[in-house]
C-alpha cells in the first residue's frame, strides 16, 4: 500500500519548477486568508503562501481534500472499517520502556523518543517539532531540530494553536540542500497543508509523525482563562489533559498533580471562546495524513499519572512501520486486542447528554450555575468512568462528540449567513464526517433545531 516515492529534484530545482512564490505574512498578522477559521498553522508565514488556496484546511474544499490526499499518501482510500481511525496497517498499544523515558514528555514520550531514534539512526537530517521557552512552557515555539539534545527539549503538549509550518521557510529558503530527509511532527490541520505541498519541498524523504488533536485553545489568553477554571494554581501549570477517568489532570512545575472532575470546573461559562474557531470546524481528530499517529484516548483507563500511562498508535503505511522498527529498542508495543474493551452504556446513549453543555458553550449560552459539591463531582466522574465507553469505544465516543458538535456549529453558522452566501457545507466535509452524521441523523436534526435560534 506504499505510494511511489516522489521524484527527488532537490530544493533549488523544486523552487524553480514550483514557480509559485509568495510574500510570507508576518507572524503577528491579524487577518489570514481563512479569516476567523484560520488555525495559525504557519503556512502563510512562508513563501509557500502562494499555494494557500489549495493547501489550507479551511479554504475551498477544505478538509474534504483528506479523501483524495489519503489515497495519494497511503496508496488507497479509507475502508469501511477504518471510519474512525483512518487508513491503517495496524493499531497497537504503545509506551516508552520505563528505563528509556525522557524528562520532558506529555505521556510516556513516544513521540519524542521516535524523533530521537530517527536522528540517531540518521534516517533523517532534522526534525520539525514544537519547543517552548523556559519561562513559558505551554507556549509553542516550532523549530528545526538538528540534534537529539534539541529534540529532548520539545516533549510535552503546548496546548495552543501553533505555527508548526513556519520553519519550512528556513528549510525552503535558507538551508540550501543540507536538510534532505525531514521528520515533521504536527497535528491534522498542519499536516494537511504540508501534504498538499510535499512534492514542492524538494526533499529526498519526508516522514510525518503526528498526534490526535481536538479543541485547542486559540492563544495564551484563552489557555489562561481555561486554566483558571480548572486549577487552583494556574500559574504553575505545565500541562493538562482530559483523561479517560472523566477528570482533568493538571501537571505543575513543582511536581504536583491536580485531578479535577470535569463536573467541577469553576464558572465554566467563562470558557466560552477559549477553543479556536478552527477547531470547531475540524474533522481530522486522528490526523489521517500522517505515517504514524500517536494518542491516548483508545487505551482503557489504567489509573495513575499520564506520564506513566500506556498510549496507542495507528501505523498508516510503510514509513510508519519504519519509524517503529528504528525505535524498537526504546518502545514496548502491546496487542491490538487489549484496546477492545466495551463500556456498560453505549456511546450512543451518552452522546446527547455530553453534547448539550458543549453546544451551549460553543454558542455562548452556558448559564452560570452553582458548582456541585466536590464529593458529588468526584462521584459523578467515577460513575461515568465505570458506566461509559472504554478503550477504542471511548475514542470513538470522543470522535463522535467532536464531529457532531462541529457539524451543528458549522450548519448553524451557515444558516445564519445563507441569505447572502450560498455555501454547501457538504462540499467541505470528508466522507467519514458525513458517515458519522448519518449514524446520528435524528440527534443531529434535533440539535440543529434547538440551536438555529
The contact set with ligand FAD (CB under 6 A) reads 105-112, 129-130, 140, 154-160, 162, 164, 185-187, 211-214, 216, 241, 294-297, 311
Q: Which is nearer to ligand SF4, 62 or 388 (CB)?
A: 62
Q: Which is nearer to ligand FAD, 131 or 264 (CB)?
A: 131
Task: Specify the residue for cell string 455530553.
Answer: 354
Query: In Å, what is the CA distance from 267 to each residue of 199, 359, 361?
Result: 48, 16, 11
Give the separation between CA 398 and CA 390, rounded to whole angstroms.
Answer: 11
Residue 260 touches which of ligand SF4, ligand FAD, none (CB < 5 to 8 A by kind)? none
Q: What is the enclosing helix (H) or strand (E) of 189? A: helix 188-196
Give the separation between CA 207 and CA 320, rounded to whole angstroms.
Answer: 8
State in angstroms the smallest separation of the CB of 160 from ligand SF4. 9
Q: Which is nearer to ligand FAD, 130 or 447 (CB)?
A: 130
State in angstroms the smallest separation of the CB of 283 from ligand SF4. 8
CB crowding 285-313: b at 16 or more within 10 Å, else e: bbbbbbbbbbbbbbbbbeeeebbebbbbb
State in angstroms the smallest separation of the CB of 96 from ligand FAD. 8
Q: Which is nearer to ligand SF4, 94 or 187 (CB)?
A: 187
State in angstroms the smallest separation of the CB of 325 from ligand SF4. 27
Q: Which is nearer to ligand SF4, 25 or 336 (CB)?
A: 25
Residue 43 touches which of ligand SF4, ligand FAD, none (CB < 5 to 8 A by kind)? ligand SF4
State in angstroms the smallest separation of the CB of 288 from ligand SF4. 11
Q: Which is nearer to ligand SF4, 286 or 331 (CB)?
A: 286
Residue 278 touches which of ligand SF4, ligand FAD, none (CB < 5 to 8 A by kind)? ligand SF4
Name the residue number minimizing CB distance to ligand FAD.
295
For 105, the 3-state DSSP assignment is: coil
Residue 411 touches which of ligand FAD, ligand SF4, none (CB < 5 to 8 A by kind)? none
Radius of gyration of the chain measured on its C-alpha atoms: 21
> What DSSP character marks residue 8?
P
Give the separation between CA 324 and CA 346, rounded to whole angstroms.
Answer: 33
Residue 436 touches which of ligand FAD, ligand SF4, none (CB < 5 to 8 A by kind)? none
Residue 249 touches which of ligand SF4, ligand FAD, none (CB < 5 to 8 A by kind)? none
Residue 63 touches which of ligand FAD, ligand SF4, none (CB < 5 to 8 A by kind)? none
Residue 412 touches which of ligand SF4, ligand FAD, none (CB < 5 to 8 A by kind)? none
For 359, the 3-state DSSP assignment is: helix
Q: Which is nearer to ligand SF4, 24 or 93 (CB)?
A: 24
Give the separation between CA 240 and CA 251, rounded to whole angstroms.
Answer: 6
Name the residues that contact ligand SF4, by CB under 6 A: 32-34, 38-41, 43-44, 52, 55-56, 58, 161, 187-189, 193, 213-214, 216, 276, 278-279, 282, 284
Helix/strand/coil (H/E/C) assignment for every residue in 374-422: HHHHHHHHHHHHHHCCCCHHHHHHHHHHHHHHHHHHHHHHHHHHCCCCC
State in angstroms the smallest separation of the CB of 74 from ligand SF4. 18
Beta strands in 187-340 (DSSP E): 205-211, 237-242, 247-252, 257-261, 292-295, 311-315, 331-333
Q: Which is nearer to ligand SF4, 51 or 390 (CB)?
A: 51
Query: In Å, what is the CA distance from 48 to each residue of 18, 68, 128?
Result: 10, 21, 17
Query: DSSP readout, 112-177?
Result: HHHHHHHHHTTS-SEEEEEEEETTEEEEEEEEEE-SHHHHHTT-S---S---TTTTHHIIIIISTT
Amino acid at each position: 500500500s506504499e505510494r511511489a516515492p516522489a521524484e527527488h529534484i532537490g530544493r533549488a530545482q523544486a523552487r524553480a519548477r514550483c514557480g509559485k512564490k509568495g510574500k510570507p505574512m508576518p507572524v503577528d498578522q491579524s487577518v489570514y486568508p481563512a479569516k476567523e477559521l484560520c488555525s495559525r498553522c504557519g503556512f502563510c508565514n512562508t513563501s509557500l503562501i502562494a499555494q494557500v488556496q489549495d493547501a489550507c484546511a479551511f479554504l475551498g474544499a477544505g478538509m474534504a481534500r483528506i479523501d483524495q490526499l489519503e489515497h495519494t499518501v497511503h496508496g488507497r482510500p479509507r475502508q469501511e472499517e477504518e471510519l474512525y481511525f483512518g487508513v491503517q496497517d495496524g493499531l497497537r498499544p504503545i509506551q516508552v520502556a520505563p528505563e528509556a523515558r525522557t524528562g520532558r514528555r506529555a505521556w510516556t514520550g513516544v513521540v519524542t523518543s521516535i524523533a530521537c531514534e530517527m536522528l540517531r539512526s540518521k534516517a533523517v537530517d532534522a526534525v520539525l517539532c514544537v519547543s517552548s521557552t523556559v519561562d513559558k512552557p505551554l507556549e509553542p515555539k516550532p523549530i528545526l531540530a538538528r540534534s537529539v539534545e534539541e529534540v529532548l527539549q520539545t516533549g510535552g503538549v503546548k496546548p495552543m494553536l501553533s505555527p508548526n509550518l513556519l520553519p519550512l521557510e528556513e528549510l525552503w529558503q535558507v538551508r540550501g540542500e543540507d536538510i534532505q530527509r525531514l521528520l515533521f511532527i504536527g497535528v491534522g490541520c498542519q499536516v494537511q497543508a504540508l501534504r498538499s505541498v510535499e512534492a514542492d519541498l524538494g526533499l529526498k524523504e519526508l516522514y510525518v509523525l503526528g498526534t490526535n488533536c481536538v479543541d485547542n485553545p486559540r492563544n495564551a489568553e484563552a489557555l489562561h482563562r481555561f486554566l483558571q477554571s480548572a486549577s487552583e494554581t494556574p500559574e504553575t501549570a505545565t500541562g493538562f489533559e482530559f483523561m479517560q477517568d472523566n477528570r482533568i489532570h493538571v501537571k505543575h512545575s513543582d511536581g504536583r498533580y491536580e485531578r479535577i472532575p470535569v463536573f467541577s470546573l469553576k464558572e465554566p461559562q467563562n470558557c466560552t471562546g477559549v477553543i479556536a474557531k478552527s477547531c470547531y470546524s475540524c474533522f481530522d481528530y486522528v490526523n489521517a495524513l500522517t505515517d504514524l499517529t500517536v494518542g491516548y484516548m483508545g487505551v482503557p483507563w489504567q489509573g495513575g499519572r499520564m506520564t506513566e500511562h500506556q498510549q496507542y498508535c495507528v501505523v498508516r503505511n510503510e514509513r510508519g512501520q519504519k519509524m517503529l522498527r528504528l525505535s524498537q529498542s526504546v518502545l514496548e508495543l502491546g496487542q491490538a486486542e487489549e484496546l477492545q474493551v466495551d463500556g456498560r452504556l453505549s456511546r450512543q446513549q451518552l452522546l446527547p447528554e455530553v453534547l448539550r453543555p458543549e453546544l451551549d458553550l460553543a454558542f455562548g449560552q452556558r448559564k452560570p450555575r452553582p458548582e456541585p459539591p466536590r464529593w458529588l463531582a468526584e462521584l459523578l466522574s467515577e460513575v461515568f468512568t465505570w458506566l461509559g465507553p472504554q478503550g477504542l469505544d471511548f475514542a470513538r465516543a470522543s470522535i463522535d462528540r467532536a464531529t457532531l458538535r462541529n457539524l451543528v456549529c458549522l450548519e448553524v453558522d451557515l444558516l445564519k449567513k445563507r441569505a447572502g452566501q450560498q455555501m454547501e457545507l457538504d462540499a467541505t466535509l470528508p466522507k467519514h464526517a458525513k458517515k458519522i452524521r448519518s449514524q446520528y441523523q435524528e440527534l443531529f436534526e434535533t440539535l440543529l433545531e434547538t440551536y438555529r435560534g
